[in-house]
Structure 1
Amino acid sequence: MVLKRGFYLICGLCSLFLGLLGIPLPILPTVPFILLAAFCFARSSERLHLWLMNHPWFSEALNDWDEKRAIRKGLKRKAYIVSGLSFAVSITIVPIIWVKVILLCFAIGLGLYLRQIPELED
């Protein structure tokens, strides 16, 4: 049991780190990593789970996802805008064509993923 909790704790901390890193970086998606961190913390550390679920940056979105499996329209719009701008800047800056194509594919994939998530009214 201790080994299992330790595994979930390490996975949760890594996911939280990657989620926070994904805020400024366009290639790393923030939301899936934060959701994974919440999942892992729920199975390893009640204190970290409560901290994450009550954190001012993530609590509303995590609770909406936990209770309704949906996100608010405003948050979804922000995700489209920030992701689109990040990918546009990255595609503009990168000089290698095949990397631009990969970034464009990631951008399209993220857009399609965001599109299928149910919306809640703000």
Structure 2
Amino acid sequence: MEVYTLKPVYVGLGLFFFALGAAGAVLPLLPSTPFLLLSAFFFARGSDRFNQWFISTRLYKNHLESLIRTRSMKLPIRNLPGQDGVTSALLMTEQRYWTASVYL
């Protein structure tokens, strides 16, 4: 009986993590794959209808479909700009120090 009372909570958490994953697909410093994996987990536990909707979205097909089927990620998915964005941000903040050391 308790399982049915948690289903709305699972769907709510799935929607929350889906929104974070969608934002992560657009924003370079926010990862999308972990949030989309969490939303897949919560939708699968919460509702068949929401799970089928999530599986049919373009975000799922672009980011998670190959991971779920083959248990491996494509190289372009692993090397998304978000991962390189952190490195780029660190390099850009340290650039003034590098420039100063070049002139010395």
Task: Tell me if TM exceeds 0.5.
Answer: yes
Q: Secondary structure at the match of 1:58?
A: helix
Cα separation, partners in 2 of 1:25 and 1:74, compared to 1, 3 Å: closer
Structure-2 separation of matches of 1:48 and 1:31: 18
- Alignment correspondent of 2:60: 58
For 1:15 and 1:82, how far apart are their aligned partners in 2? 17
Instruction: State the match for 1:6 in structure 2.
Output: 8
Q: Deviations over 1:27-48 (max 9, x none)?
A: x321000011011101112222
The total of aligned residue pairs comes to 90
Structure 2: which 5+ runs fail to align?
Answer: 94-104
The residue correspondences of 1:1-122 to structure 2 (distance < 5 A) are 1-23=3-25, 24-26=27-29, 28-77=30-79, 79=80, 81-84=81-84, 86-88=85-87, 90-91=89-90, 92=92
What letter corresponds to residue 50 of structure 2 in structure 1? L
**2: CA distance between counterparts of 1:10 and 1:39?**
12
| SS at structure 1 position matched to 2:66 | helix
Higher-helix-fraction structure: 2
Identity %: 25
Q: Show CA shifts across 1:43-96 (max 9, x none).
A: 11222211221212321532222222211123223x2x4421x22454336xxx
Give the equivalent residue in structure 1 for 2:97: none
Inter-partner Cα distance in structure 2 for 1:69 and 1:2: 30
Q: Distance in 1 between matches of 2:62 and 2:28?
A: 22
Gaps of 5+ in 1: 94-122
CA distance in 1, matches of 2:89, 2:68: 32
Q: TM-score, normalised by structure 1?
A: 0.61
Poorly superposed stretches of 4+, deviation over 4 Å:
none
Alpha-carbon distance in structure 1 between the residues aligned to 2:58 and 2:13? 22
**TM-score w.r.t. length of structure 2:** 0.69
